[in-house]
Structures are given as C-alpha cells and as structure tokens.
Chain A
Amino acid sequence: MKIISCIKQVPASSNVDVDPDTGVLIRDGNNVKMNPYDLYSLEASYAIQAKAKDAKTHAITMGPPSASEVLKEALFMGTDDASLISDRAFAGADVLATAYTLSQMIRYIGGYDVIVCGKQTTDGDTAQVGPEIAEFLGIPHVPYVKDIISVEHDALIVKSTYDDYEEIVKIKTPCLITIDKGGFVPRLPSYKRKMSFKNNKIPMVSLKDLPDQNPDHYGLNGSPTQVEEIFPPSNDMDTVTINQTPEKTADTLIDILKERRYV
C-alpha cells in the first residue's frame, strides 16, 4: 500500500498587518513552519501504515525550493519518502491550480492507495485543496477524519466529525481523506532519523516531469480566482467608554441592561 501525504509550509505566525497607506502586508518575521494540520495528517498516515501490510508513506509539497524543509521534518518524523514539486510556472496558483498540480504530482508518483491532507492551512485557510485533489484524481474523499477504524484490502473505514454529528464511512481505495485535529497526536521528529537522513537530498519535480505539461493549466494561468486587493479589516462604530470604580461600573452595567430590558 502507498500512502501519500500532502503537506504545506506556512508562515510561523499569522499575525500579519496591512499598512493602511501602502496596502503592503507586514508580516511579523519571515519564519515558517509546517501547517499544524499537516502534522496531524502525517500522524494519520502512520496510523494507516501501522494497520496495513507493507505500507510506504511518501510526503509531497508544492512550493519554493525552501519548502523542502517541511519534507525533511516529515522524514524525521517517520515518513519513508519525500518529494518537492516546484516550478516558477506554479506561481500565483489558487486552489484549483494548486490541487491540479498536486494531483499531477500524485499521478507522476503513481501506484497510490491513500492520499492524506490536512483539513486546512493557517494561511490560505480555504480547506478546499484536499477535496479538489480527489476530484481531479476521480477518487472519493472523506473530510475531517478523526479516526482510522480499519484498513481493508480495498477500502478504509474511517470516522469523520461534523459540527454536531459524526459519520462512519467506508471509502474504497484509492481515496483521499482530510484530517481534523483532535484524533491524532503528532510525534516529535526522531534524532536517529535526523542523523540517518542528514545527507539526503530531497528530489525536486518540475513541470517538465508531469504527465500534463501545458503551462496554461498551472499557476496564475490555471487559476480562475484572482486576488484583486488585500486590505485590513475595517470597523467604524460609536463606542461609549466607561472607566469608573468597580462599584460604579457595576451600577452602569445594570443601567445598560435595564435600558435593554434584560434586568
């Protein structure tokens, strides 16, 4: 069985501001990390591996060459194989183009049984990439998986969590699942693995390796959505400010509540 995990590098902090005059994004630091949900999904891939016979795990990411850091982290945690997909032609990809590129990468690797994605990222935050990859590959998907109940020879049985209900679903392989937090506790990278992978170079795949090499299907050109503008969240509001002793504040609060007939 082959399990492919899609992981993404995201800014370490989502504390960004927009300069109100220039409209420029101000990030606090240029630090990056693995998308937290992808840590859960890597752990889920190991859970499937443990339940299957002779399973191999393979992590992939689409991003600039520096994004291979998250692949190394996956290797250190326990993933068997890793590859980066990177090409200037992928720049400006929206969800559709990102998912298409990843689906092409998965076809390029081939022979897969289960694709594992995080539920969402902490930057783009759309939660759309997983289901779109599944559609491009023509395979079923189950979102928000919190438990792998069993691994059969041609299917998985998983538990998936919605707002106020859960579903137990049998999904035929090949398939894709997205992982919610709460079900899997990510392990720490192992020192031993770190040492043994120290000199490993992560292989890089680019457009010319993919089955579909038409640049119109990738990056900005393959992206139906376009970000027209980025701006800070706004607000305009009349605020009554109250700064009194605690006793008086309590009285004032009672008055406000009385006025609104709550008291």
Chain B
Amino acid sequence: MAYIKVNQSKVDQKIADKLQDLCPFGAFDYEDAYLSINAACKVCKICVTKGPNGVCEFIEDDRPRIDKSKYKGIAVYIEHHDNKAHPVSWELIGKAQELAKTTKEEIQAILVGSNVEHIAKEALTYGVDRVFVYDKPLYHDFNVETYTHAVEHAFKTFKSNIILMGGTPLGRSFAPRVAARLKTGLTADCTMLDIKPDGDLLQIRPAFGGNIMAKIHTPNHRPQLATIRYKMFDKPEKTEPNGKIIHVDTADISTQTNLELIEILRQPKVDDISDAEVIIAVGRAFKKKEDLALIEPLRKQLNAEVACTRPLIENGWFDPRKQIGLSGRTVKPKLIINLGISGAVQFIEGMKDSECIISINSDDDNKLFELSHYAIKGDIYDILPHLNDRLESILKGAS
C-alpha cells in the first residue's frame, strides 16, 4: 500500500505549522503533539518534496505491477452525430500518430453505430491501421449503456494501451462510464499529451478553473483513458488508406439498457464560434449592451463571429454558446481581437492557440497582453470610433 508516513519523532509545533502552511489542501491536523493527515490529502507529495527534511515520507506501493507489454495500440473512439464523425476524432488520430512515433504502436479506431461503414473508411484516410467497427441497428442512437458494453468488448478483445475520447458533452458523460467499467483511470480535458517509451501516457490538464496545470499519469492500469477538448490538436493530413476495417461480431455483447430516448430537440443553430476563422471577443469593458454596436463595422469588415467572456453570458447579453473559455468553447481562429478582456486563465485556455491574437485594454497589467501578438493599450471607447471612421473611409474609397 502506498501512503505518506509522518515521522512523529521529528515533529514539533514549528514543523507542524510549517507543514500546515505548505499543504494546499489543509490536510494536516496537529493535536496532542501528534501530526496526522486527514481525508483532505490529495497525495500531491508537496510535503515530501518541499516540506521539512525527513518529516514526511512517501511509502511506495508494493502491490504487483501489471504486465504492460500485453497492451498495445493507441485507440481513438470515433464520436459521430447524424452520420458524420465529430472532427475531434480526427484531431485525436493526429495526436495518436504523433505519440506512436515514440512507442511504434498501432493506431486504432473504435467505431460504434448503425450503417457507419463510410465513417470507418474515412478513418482509414487519416492513417488509422485498424478500425474496430460495432455496427448494428441497436446502435443507431447513442446510448451510454449499450455503447459502454461495446467499448468494453473492444478493450477486452483488442487490449489497447490507450483510448482517447473527445471531451465533448457526450464524451464527458461516456468516458467516465467506460473508465469505471474497465476500473481504470481517466484524465479529463487534457490540453497536452506526451508518452514515455514504455507506453505510459503523460496527461496534462488544467484544474482549479485553469489556474494551475496538473501532470497526471496512470502508472499501473490499462487502458489509459483521457478526454481531450475539441480543437486542442490539429487535424492530420489525409493519406492513402492503408489500414483494415475489422467488423466485430456483436451477437454476444449485452444490449441491456434502462434508458429510452424519447426525443431529440434540435436547438436553433447559432453560428458556432468553434469553427470561426475570425473572432471579435468582447469583455466587461463594454458598459452597456448597446455599446456593442461599436464593433459592428469591424465585424462586417472581417466577417467575424462575435464571442465573449463569461460575465457577458451571465448578464444575458449573449447565448451561452458564444462564450470562450474553459466552461465555454475552445476556439482556434486565424485572428482573434480581444476588446476589454482581462485574460483570466479560464478565458485564455479557450483561445490561446489562436494564430494571431490582438488585444486592446486600457490597463497594461492584464494577463492577455503577454499572450498577444499585438498588445494595444487604450480605451475601446476612444479607439473604436476612430477605427470605424477609418473603416468607413476605406469602404468609400473602394466603391
């Protein structure tokens, strides 16, 4: 069993105070000259690595290790809607290929659905080696129970080392179900992935609303499961298909479910900012909703989508799907212009991979500036009217 051992002989009030200050989770209790660790401990081991010498000690797990050589292949679960694959699936295949350069593993795809041969073929064009297809009418609509039975079968049959899933709303509900079925770890919403030569996946994800990054690994369980948000990685180039489609016999897979889909309601489509090439993002600098009219000329000129920070959603100025950030959309446009946004990490996580970032802010000391290609100091209420004049005269000149 692994645990953190406290060497009580080295503990006094001063040491206890030090450790209590150091521990970010408030996990130390000091009572009757006894320093104990309570249930708030996250075993981050900061007390071991940064604490007073020799007081806290990490006792390694001595339980048997699994034989990792039995698990090979980096698999991507192909999410699809309305007969079309979700593009995050292709992005993950691109990432899987990158990882496989280190471990020389096969790239696999897991596809569950009804009449999905065309999606399997498309997967091959992205360089997948083997697509495991679970195709039958029962799988026509996504059902978290029947689909979990299928993915469980896929893992038990093909023994993938890693399974990656899109961190879409569907994936975020499905992946944990699969993880608990397979009794393995799952890292949510990774923003970076790396791999060790022995096949151990390094999963990096933001936590505390993006204020910190955590590097997580799954040292003794397989498969290693991770979800990754849409638009974190690039879609790979298409290649000459060279892989195989494996039609899996589904006859013996459980069809048990206690869920019944009654109806799917499409919501009126708002222009999706996730796919936008140019975005104007607005923040709390705008004092009134009417002031948003100031960006209209620029929006037209750039043919941009307008997106916003979370407070503007909370104000009710925008549809929630226009929110950029950790609890909103991840965007990766060619150009993003941020107007009066302070650059909270939660916001930054959603747009930091944009190709060109221009930010206007009256305060030098905002976190977006250091992330921007162009950091423009100034008041939007002063700059935008001038900009609109310029745009107008350019338009006039052109006609």
Tell me if B186 and A95 are in contact (CB < 8 A).
yes
Please name 4 further chain A to chain B contacts, defined as beta carbons within 8 Å, in addition to the given A163-B169, A166-B264, sorted by A numbering.
A140-B145, A144-B173, A240-B375, A251-B390
Q: B2: which A residues are within 8 A, CB to CB?
A: 220-221
Q: In whole angstroms, how far apart are the Cα atoms of A246 and B17 in the complex?
A: 53
| CB closest chain-A residue, reference B301 | A263
Tell me if A99 and B180 are in contact (CB < 8 A).
yes
Tell me if A246 and B172 are in contact (CB < 8 A).
no
Q: B307: which A residues are within 8 A, CB to CB?
A: none
Whether A96 touches B269, Cβ cut-off 8 Å, given contacts A90-B39, A230-B212, is: no
Tell me if A253 and B39 are in contact (CB < 8 A).
no
Q: Check if A127 is an interface residue, CB within 8 A of chain B.
A: yes
Whether A167 touches B180, Cβ cut-off 8 Å, given contacts A23-B50, A135-B148, A140-B144, is: no
| CB closest chain-A residue, reference B203 | A225
What total of chain A residues lie within 8 Å of the partner, measured CB to CB?
99
Interface CB pairs A-B, < 8 A, 5: A17-B212, A95-B179, A240-B373, A240-B374, A263-B394
Q: In whole angstroms, how far apart are the Cα atoms of A230 and B187 in the complex?
A: 14
- Measured CB to CB, the residues of A under 8 A from B are 11, 14-18, 22-27, 30, 62-65, 86-88, 90-92, 94-96, 99, 122-132, 134-136, 139-144, 157, 162-172, 175, 178, 215-216, 220-221, 223-235, 237-244, 246-247, 249-254, 256-257, 260, 262-263
Report the stretch among B7-15, B20-28, B110-118, B129-137 that lies at the interface.
Answer: B20-28
Tell me if B177 and A91 are in contact (CB < 8 A).
no
Whether A162 touches B170, Cβ cut-off 8 Å, given contacts A22-B50, A99-B180, A168-B263, is: yes
* Partner pick for B216 among A96, A225, A242, CB 8 A cutoff: A225
Tell me if B41 and A91 are in contact (CB < 8 A).
yes
Tell me if B261 and A169 are in contact (CB < 8 A).
yes
Q: Check if B107 is an interface residue, CB within 8 A of chain A.
A: no
* Partner pick for A229 among B183, B207, B215, B260, CB 8 A cutoff: B215
Whether A15 touches B211, Cβ cut-off 8 Å, given contacts A91-B27, A225-B185, A226-B217, is: yes
Q: In whole angstroms, how far apart are the Cα atoms of A27 and B24 in the complex?
A: 7
| CB closest chain-B residue, reference A262 | B302
Residues of B327-379 whose CB lies within 8 A of A: 335, 345, 348-349, 352, 356, 358, 369-379
Tell me if B390 and A250 are in contact (CB < 8 A).
yes
Tell me if B43 and A92 are in contact (CB < 8 A).
yes
Q: In whole angstroms, how far apart are the Cα atoms of A11 and B26 in the complex?
A: 11
Closest beta carbon of chain A to B42's beta carbon, Å:
6
Report the stretch among B232-240, B287-295, B380-388 that lies at the interface.
Answer: B380-388
Tell me if B370 and A64 are in contact (CB < 8 A).
no
Q: B391: which A residues are within 8 A, CB to CB?
A: 254, 263
Q: B49: which A residues are within 8 A, CB to CB?
A: 23
Tell me if A225 and B358 are in contact (CB < 8 A).
no
Tell me if A220 and B43 are in contact (CB < 8 A).
yes
Tell me if A140 and B259 are in contact (CB < 8 A).
yes
* Partner pick for B375 among A130, A164, A239, CB 8 A cutoff: A239
Q: In whole angstroms, how far apart are the Cα atoms of A238 and B326 in the complex?
A: 24
Tell me if A168 and B265 are in contact (CB < 8 A).
yes
Q: Check if B125 is an interface residue, CB within 8 A of chain A.
A: no
Tell me if A175 and B212 are in contact (CB < 8 A).
no
Report the stretch among B97-105, B156-164, B218-226, B244-252 that lies at the interface.
Answer: B218-226
Q: A170: which B residues are within 8 A, CB to CB?
A: 259-260, 262
- Please encode chain B, from 168 to 204, with 1 for each CB lying within 8 Å of some chain A CB and 0 for all others: 1110111111011101111111000000000000110
Tell me if A241 and B377 are in contact (CB < 8 A).
yes
Whether A216 touches B169, Cβ cut-off 8 Å, given contacts A172-B258, A225-B186, A235-B352, is: no
Q: B42: which A residues are within 8 A, CB to CB?
A: 91-92, 227
Residues of B278-327 whose CB lies within 8 A of A: 278, 301-302, 321, 326
Closest beta carbon of chain B to A250's beta carbon, Å:
4
Tell me if B179 and A253 are in contact (CB < 8 A).
no
Q: A167: which B residues are within 8 A, CB to CB?
A: 261-265
Q: B40: which A residues are within 8 A, CB to CB?
A: 63-64, 91
Closest beta carbon of chain B to A147's beta carbon, Å:
11
| CB closest chain-B residue, reference A125 | B207
Tell me if B24 and A235 are in contact (CB < 8 A).
no
Closest beta carbon of chain A to B194's beta carbon, Å:
11
Closest beta carbon of chain A to B18's beta carbon, Å:
12
Closest beta carbon of chain B to A212's beta carbon, Å:
13
Q: A240: which B residues are within 8 A, CB to CB?
A: 373-375
Q: B170: which A residues are within 8 A, CB to CB?
A: 162
Q: B180: which A residues are within 8 A, CB to CB?
A: 96, 99, 131-132, 135-136
Q: In whole angstroms, how far apart are the Cα atoms of A25 and B45 in the complex?
A: 12
* Partner pick for B207 among A123, A228, A260, CB 8 A cutoff: A123
